[in-house]
């Protein structure tokens, strides 16, 4: 097993000026499950391919353990990769697919059979070893691709959106299997996904990328409780955080009829360039339904109620002040708020409900830079 280090690793594709990955500094501990997450085009798959040796590193370096592998051939890096499309040989049996890399490496047949049998047992594939890939379900094919990686006993597993081709229910069960399998094997794993729910449920730590730049690295709880900027705040969490830019008056943010008190530390972080404005974030689950006129309460006009059985979410607009409402964004889009409510007491469409932010659960960001403010 080994750690992985990206040391100012940069990738610039020919014919482009902006790096696909820009001076990435990231350390993955020995045995850690790290998830690279971000929207399409953020550089997460490019980072993984640089580690695999499938993309050139134009500046900086990449280390596996203490070994600089920046210019080492992929076959000599002691890594195993699991792809999105399985990449199985259709004419080979499951056993032959799983053991093919060992056969190419010249391992004895007895050792290949033993390793394949051990991996098949771990992945519940023992009864399918004689089948061809076409006779397997999507989830079983993905497990075969996992088995092919496991039998190589590499220092590092690389996984590039391995669940994207599975249906929603199978994706949930397979991600649980992958996470528990990684913890049992203890192999350093770098996992790429665009799905923040996958990232939150699977990773020991998460690294969020945007436009080739690393935004934040931390545990799932760090990401949820203390997002480093408005991008991370809006990306991590389902439904996404409500974010709005508001005026500051008398040490408070003006949110419709409500005044949201700001701490001395937060106010100290506001600069002249912010022009007496602040960006506040509050998650749908951080809002409580209140009565009209109660301290800190503001009105929301209900556009839609989404009932999910154990949960219900209200999608609506900040009522009464159109100019202020246009500064609000959420997972539902511009000028929209999302509120989690009691699923047994949901409001009707068109109704006005009063809500307030639970004490201590607001997030403050600079209106100019989007960076998190203290306090």
Structural domain total, the chain? 2
Residues 50-55, mean pLDDT to the nearest whole number: 96
pLDDT at residue 168, as a whole number:
83
Longest dimension (CA), the chain: 78
Residue 323 has pLDDT above 60, yes or no: no
Residue 202 and residue 248 share a domain: no
> Last residue of a domain, which of 233, 261, 276?
233
Tokens of 149: 């990686």
Residue 320 has pLDDT above 80, yes or no: no
Residue 372 located in a structural domain: no
Instruction: Assign residue 248 the CATH number of its domain.
Output: 2.40.50.140
pLDDT at residue 319, as a whole number:
80
Residue 81 CA to chain centroid, in angstroms? 19
Please give the Cα distance from 318 to 324 (Å, whole number): 8
Residue 73 and residue 48 share a domain: yes
Residues 167-187, mean pLDDT to the nearest whole number: 87
Residue 281 CA to chain centroid, in angstroms? 19
> Last residue of a domain, which of 218, 233, 248?
233
pLDDT tier at 324, thresholds 50, 70, 90: low
Residues 60-71, mean pLDDT to the nearest whole number: 96
Residue 260 and residue 184 share a domain: no
Residues 268-275, mean pLDDT to the nearest whole number: 93
Residue 265 and residue 167 share a domain: no
Expressed as residue numbers, the domain containing 166 is 4-233
Whole-model pTM: value is: 0.90
Residue 317 located in a structural domain: yes
Buried b / exposed e over 263-280, threshold 16 CB at 10 Å, is eeebbebbeeebeebbbb
Residue 371 located in a structural domain: no
Residue 191 and residue 124 share a domain: yes
Give the 3-state secondary structure of residue 149.
Answer: helix
Q: Label the pairing between strands 79-82 and 4-11.
A: unpaired
Q: Label the pairing between strands 287-290 and 328-330.
A: unpaired
pLDDT at residue 27, as a whole number:
97
User: Average per-residue pLDDT in the chain?
Assistant: 92
> Last residue of a domain, which of 233, 268, 300?
233
CA distance to 43, 313, 375, per residue, from 302 (Å) = 38, 10, 32
Residue 217 and residue 193 share a domain: yes
Based on the number of CB atoms within 10 Å of its own CB, is 39 exposed (0-12), middle (13-18) or buried (19 or more)? middle
Residue 253 located in a structural domain: yes
Residue 237 has pLDDT above 80, yes or no: yes
pLDDT at residue 335, as a whole number:
78
DSSP state, 78?
Answer: -
pLDDT at residue 98, as a whole number:
95
Residue 222 and residue 259 share a domain: no
pLDDT tier at 50, thresholds 50, 70, 90: very high
Residue 226 and residue 246 share a domain: no
Residue 258 has pLDDT above 90, yes or no: no
pLDDT tier at 167, thresholds 50, 70, 90: confident
List the end-to-end C-alpha distance of the chain, in Å, as a whole number: 40
pLDDT at residue 214, as a whole number:
98
In which residue are the tokens 């992945």 written? 123
Residues 257-270, mean pLDDT to the nearest whole number: 91
pLDDT tier at 84, thresholds 50, 70, 90: confident
Residue 294 and residue 220 share a domain: no
pLDDT at residue 321, as a whole number:
59
pLDDT tier at 6, thresholds 50, 70, 90: very high
Residue 272 and residue 208 share a domain: no
Count of helices and strands (H, E) across the chain? 10, 22
Residue 335 located in a structural domain: yes
pLDDT at residue 281, as a whole number:
95
Residues 238-263, mean pLDDT to the nearest whole number: 89
pLDDT at residue 256, as a whole number:
78
Residue 243 and residue 191 share a domain: no
Asked whether 277 and 248 are in contact (CB, 8 A), the reply is yes
Residue 129 located in a structural domain: yes
**What is the percentage of the chain residues whose pLDDT exceeds 90?**
72
Residue 199 and residue 272 share a domain: no
Residue 36 located in a structural domain: yes
pLDDT digits (tens, 9 = 90+) for 107-144: 999 999 999 999 998 888 999 999 999 999 888 898 89
Instruction: Assign residue 95 the CATH number of its domain.
Output: 3.40.50.300
pLDDT at residue 370, as a whole number:
95
Residue 290 has pLDDT above 60, yes or no: yes
Residue 326 has pLDDT above 60, yes or no: no
Residues 289-304, mean pLDDT to the nearest whole number: 90
pLDDT at residue 173, as a whole number:
84
Residue 374 located in a structural domain: no
CA distance to 24, 94, 158, 345, per residue, from 49 (Å) = 13, 26, 9, 49
């Amino acid at each position: 097993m080994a750690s992985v280090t990206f040391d100012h690793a940069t990738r610039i594709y020919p014919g482009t000026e902006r790096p696909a990955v820009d001076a990435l500094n990231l350390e993955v501990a020995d045995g850690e499950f790290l998830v690279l997450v971000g929207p399409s085009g953020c550089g997460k798959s490019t980072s993984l391919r640089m580690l695999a040796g499938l993309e050139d590193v134009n500046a900086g370096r990449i280390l596996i353990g203490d070994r600089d592998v920046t210019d080492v051939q992929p076959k000599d890096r002691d890594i195993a990769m699991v792809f999105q499309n399985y990449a199985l040989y259709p004419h080979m049996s499951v056993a032959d697919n799983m053991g093919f890399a060992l056969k190419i490496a010249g391992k004895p047949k007895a050792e290949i059979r033993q390793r394949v049998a051990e991996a098949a047992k771990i992945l519940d594939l023992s009864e399918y070893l004689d089948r061809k890939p076409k006779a397997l379900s999507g989830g079983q094919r993905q497990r075969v691709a996992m088995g092919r990686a496991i039998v190589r006993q590499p220092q590092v597993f690389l996984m590039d959106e391995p669940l994207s081709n599975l249906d929603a229910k199978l994706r949930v069960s397979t991600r649980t299997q992958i996470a528990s399998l990684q913890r049992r094997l203890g192999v350093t794993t770098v996992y790429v996904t665009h799905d923040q729910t996958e990232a939150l449920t699977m990773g020991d730590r998460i690294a969020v990328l945007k436009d080739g730049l690393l935004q934040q690295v931390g545990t799932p709880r760090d990401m949820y409780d203390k997002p480093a900027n408005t991008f991370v705040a809006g990306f991590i969490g389902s439904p996404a955080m409500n974010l709005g830019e508001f005026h500051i008056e008398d040490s408070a943010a003006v949110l419709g009829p409500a005044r949201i008190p700001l701490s001395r530390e937060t106010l100290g972080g506001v600069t002249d360039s912010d022009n007496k404005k602040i960006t506040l974030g509050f998650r749908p689950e951080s809002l409580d339904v209140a009565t009209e006129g109660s301290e800190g309460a503001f009105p929301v006009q209900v556009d839609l109620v989404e009932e999910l059985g154990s949960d219900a979410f209200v999608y609506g607009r900040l009522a009464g002040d159109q100019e202020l409402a246009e500064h609000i964004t959420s997972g539902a889009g511009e000028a929209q708020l999302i509120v989690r409510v009691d699923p047994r007491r949901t409001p009707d469409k068109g109704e006005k409900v009063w809500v307030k932010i639970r004490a201590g659960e607001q997030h403050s960001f600079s209106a100019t830079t989007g960076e998190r403010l203290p306090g």
